[in-house]
């Protein structure tokens, strides 16, 4: 019985290692990522942020800058169609 258990554990370990090795190896190393990431400074220069993707020069999003307030963003590109907030209940926890 112990021998069968050891074989089962060894099989699961081997399968797990094979799956992990497959996940770490990209399918095609020549494929470029679909988006690029730029690191830019905020308008006042106090911190840095990231912009992911390529922004069209004439789009509404080209007007946005890292560090803008929600009010500034709403003034430039208009308010969002829908804004949802979800209460998780964690604020009511005593810990």
How many domains does the structure of the chain reveal?
Answer: 1
Tell me whether residue 92 is in a domain: no
Tell me whether residue 73 is in a domain: yes
How far is the C-alpha of 48 from the C-alpha of 88, rounded, in Å?
A: 29
How far is the C-alpha of 76 from the C-alpha of 88, rounded, in Å?
A: 31
pLDDT tens-digit map of 44-67? 888 888 888 888 888 888 888 888
Q: Which of 17-26, 27-36, 69-78, 82-91 has the lowest mean pLDDT?
A: 27-36
Tell me whether residue 57 is in a domain: yes
The tally of CA atoms less than 13 A away on the side-chain side of residue 77 is 14
pTM of the model: 0.44
For residue 63, what are the domain limits? 37-77
Tell me whether residue 46 is in a domain: yes
């Amino acid at each position: 019985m112990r021998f069968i258990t050891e074989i089962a554990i060894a099989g699961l370990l081997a399968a797990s290692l094979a799956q992990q090795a497959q996940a770490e190896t990209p399918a095609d190393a020549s494929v470029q990522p679909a988006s690029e990431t730029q690191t830019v400074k905020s308008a006042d220069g106090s911190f840095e942020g990231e912009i992911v993707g390529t922004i069209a020069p004439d789009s509404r999003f080209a007007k946005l800058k890292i560090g803008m307030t929600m009010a500034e963003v709403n003034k430039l590109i208009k308010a969002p169609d829908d804004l949802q907030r979800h209460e998780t209940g964690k604020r009511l926890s005593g810990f």
